[in-house]
């Protein structure tokens, strides 16, 4: 494979949604198009930032794109994994270990664009390329090409924390075929949050079909009381109760609550993942690991995280990537992960799944179009028009 060109565009996302930690008003994202050449011809791969962090234009334009374009030799490797590991080594030339900052997201969006191009060069959907070259876990009860899928939403909108709105959104999510619904907590008073949770549970009929995401809001003393109250409901999981890098606090949460914990979306490397699993108190087989490889150096680094996790008794079905982007959908379906998150009913580039993906009875069945399917997701694909 040769790298022919890489282009990036930083896109404003402007949205009135909020969670306990941030507003999405000023959020940006990077759209990346990477063109490769193989013995089969030239192929353009598309990559798009993950949700909830900013675009990576500066880092990409200054360091990572020039570094990749400086390589005029062929990037070799007998399998896609080996080729992509060599791409990864080029991207990380002259980069010190640790201190990931925003760098891991810049590499992640660029690396996943190249995976899209590689899958297209093999005339395979990304999920089938991953199944062929990495292998499916077989541990999630679904065949390759399918994944469990859930709807996430229930954001705080500016000036509104209306339980009726959350109830309607949860109902719409399950009516649309998603398996369960996740809403935000920790960004309003506990009374408002409990009313929102109650409304969501009422809409879907079971607390096990409702998860909550606190975006690290329960790190203070009062948080333990709120967490304990939520723990009594029997929800599917409580996500990011505290800062995921505060392993001591996280381990305390895991000891004090019986509800499964989900965390990892702010874990950006194999080393961070290893620390989380060793010191965060998480319970293999019960808790969910949400590392988001678009934020965390791409799929190549993600595959390395499995190795540590499996040695500690976790399986790939315990992994459920954050954010609901197309590459995560394909990774879940190709590698046999625990499921896929998607913002089901809110509209916009992050919402839903590609048009050739069927969602029914809590399962997404992916299509056969080559690549990761951004072209089949019109609200997202239109953001690439200036680059193509
Ligand atoms: Mg989250």
How far apart are the CA of 332 and the centre of ligand 1, in A? 17
How far apart are the CA of 212 and the centre of ligand 1, in A? 9
pLDDT band at 12 (very low <50, low <70, confident <90, very high): confident
Closest CA to 81 of 130, 136, 144: 130
**Cβ within 8 Å of residue 58, ≥6 positions away:** none
How far apart are the CA of 266 and the centre of ligand 1, in A? 9
How far apart are the CA of 322 and the centre of ligand 1, in A? 7
Burial class (CB in 10 A: 0-12, 13-18, 19+), 12: exposed
Tokens matching residue 288: 């969910």
How far apart are the CA of 177 and the centre of ligand 1, in A? 21
- The pLDDT value recorded for residue 222 is 79
User: Is residue 184 annotated as a catalytic residue, yes or no?
Assistant: yes
Number of Cβ within a 10 Å radius of residue 295: 29
Enter the pTM of the model: 0.95
How far apart are the CA of 225 and the centre of ligand 1, in A? 21
pLDDT tens string 109-134: 999 999 999 999 999 999 999 999 99
How far apart are the CA of 283 and the centre of ligand 1, in A? 18
Closest CA to 225 of 186, 282, 276, 251: 186
**Are the C-beta atoms of residues 149 and 178 closer than 8 Å to each other?**
yes
**Are the C-beta atoms of residues 199 and 163 closer than 8 Å to each other?**
yes
How far apart are the CA of 77 and the centre of ligand 1, in A? 35
- The pLDDT value recorded for residue 324 is 85
**What is the distance between the alpha carbons of residues 84 and 325, in angstroms, rounded to a whole number?**
20
Mean pLDDT is lowest, of 21-35, 42-56, 266-280, for 21-35
**What is the distance between the alpha carbons of residues 207 and 286, in angstroms, rounded to a whole number?**
17
Surrounding ion ligand 1 within 5 Å at CB are 213, 239
**What is the distance between the alpha carbons of residues 12 and 164, in angstroms, rounded to a whole number?**
30
Q: Is the pLDDT of residue 273 over 70?
A: yes
- The pLDDT value recorded for residue 381 is 96
* pLDDT mean over 89-106: 94
- The pLDDT value recorded for residue 15 is 64
Query: Which ranges of 49-102 does DSSP label H, i.e. alpha helix?
Result: 57-59, 65-69, 80-91
pLDDT tens string 340-380: 999 866 667 778 999 999 999 999 999 999 999 999 999 99
Task: Calculate the average pLDDT of the chain.
Answer: 94
**Are the C-beta atoms of residues 164 and 202 closer than 8 Å to each other?**
no
Q: Is the pLDDT of residue 283 over 90?
A: yes
User: Is residue 322 annotated as a catalytic residue, yes or no?
Assistant: yes
How far apart are the CA of 216 and the centre of ligand 1, in A? 9
Calculate Rg over the CA atoms of the chain. Answer: 20
**Paired strand residues for 28:** 12
Mean pLDDT is lowest, of 25-29, 233-237, 239-243, 258-262, for 25-29
**What is the distance between the alpha carbons of residues 311 and 268, in angstroms, rounded to a whole number?**
19
How far apart are the CA of 273 and the centre of ligand 1, in A? 16
Active-site entry in 184, 226, 317, 377: 184
How far apart are the CA of 265 and the centre of ligand 1, in A? 7
Q: Is the pLDDT of residue 21 over 80?
A: no
**What is the distance between the alpha carbons of residues 357 and 150, in angstroms, rounded to a whole number?**
14
pLDDT tens string 199-243: 999 999 999 999 999 999 998 777 889 999 999 999 999 999 999
**Are the C-beta atoms of residues 112 and 50 closer than 8 Å to each other?**
no
How far apart are the CA of 123 and the centre of ligand 1, in A? 33
Name all domains of the chain by residue range, CATH numbers in brackets. Answer: 2-123 (3.30.390.10), 130-387 (3.20.20.120)
Active-site entry in 322, 330, 340, 377: 322
Mean pLDDT is lowest, of 10-24, 52-66, 274-288, for 10-24
């Amino acid at each position: 494979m040769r790298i022919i060109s890489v282009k990036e565009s930083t896109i404003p996302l402007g949205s009135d949604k909020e969670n306990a930690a941030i507003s999405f008003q000023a959020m940006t994202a990077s759209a990346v198009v990477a063109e490769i050449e193989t013995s089969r011809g030239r192929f353009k791969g598309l990559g798009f930032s993950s949700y909830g962090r900013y675009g990576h234009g500066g880092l990409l334009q200054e360091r990572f794109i020039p570094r990749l374009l400086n390589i005029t030799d062929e990037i070799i490797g007998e399998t896609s994994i080996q080729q992509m590991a060599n791409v990864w080594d080029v991207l990380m030339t002259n980069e010190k270990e640790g201190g990931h900052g925003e760098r891991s997201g810049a590499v992640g969006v660029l690396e996943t664009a190249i995976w899209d191009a590689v899958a297209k060069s093999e005339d395979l959907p990304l999920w089938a390329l991953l199944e062929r070259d990495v292998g499916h876990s077989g541990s999630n009860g679904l065949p390759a090409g399918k994944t469990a899928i859930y709807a996430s939403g229930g954001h705080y909108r500016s000036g509104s924390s209306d339980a009726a709105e959350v109830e309607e959104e949860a109902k719409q999510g399950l009516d649309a075929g998603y398996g369960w619904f996740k809403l935000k907590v920790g960004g309003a008073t506990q009374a408002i949050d409990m009313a929102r949770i109650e409304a969501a549970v009422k809409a879907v009929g079971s607390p096990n079909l409702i998860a909550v995401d606190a975006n690290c809001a329960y790190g203070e003393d009062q948080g333990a009381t709120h967490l304990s109250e939520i723990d009594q409901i029997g929800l599917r999981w409580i996500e990011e109760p505290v800062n995921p890098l505060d392993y001591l606090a996280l381990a305390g949460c895991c000891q004090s609550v019986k509800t499964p914990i989900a965390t990892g979306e702010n874990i950006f490397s194999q080393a961070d993942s290893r620390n989380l699993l060793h010191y965060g108190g998480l319970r293999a087989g019960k808790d969910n690991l949400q590392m988001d490889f678009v934020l965390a150096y791409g799929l190549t680094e993600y595959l390395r995280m499995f190795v540590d996790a499996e040695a500690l008794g976790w399986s790939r079905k315990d992994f459920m990537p954050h954010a609901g982007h197309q590459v995560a959908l394909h990774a879940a379906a190709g590698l046999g992960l625990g499921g896929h998150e998607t913002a089901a009913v809110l509209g916009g580039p992050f919402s839903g799944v590609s048009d050739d993906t069927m969602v029914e009875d809590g399962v997404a069945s992916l299509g056969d179009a080559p690549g990761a399917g951004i072209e089949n997701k019109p609200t997202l694909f239109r953001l690439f028009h200036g680059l193509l």
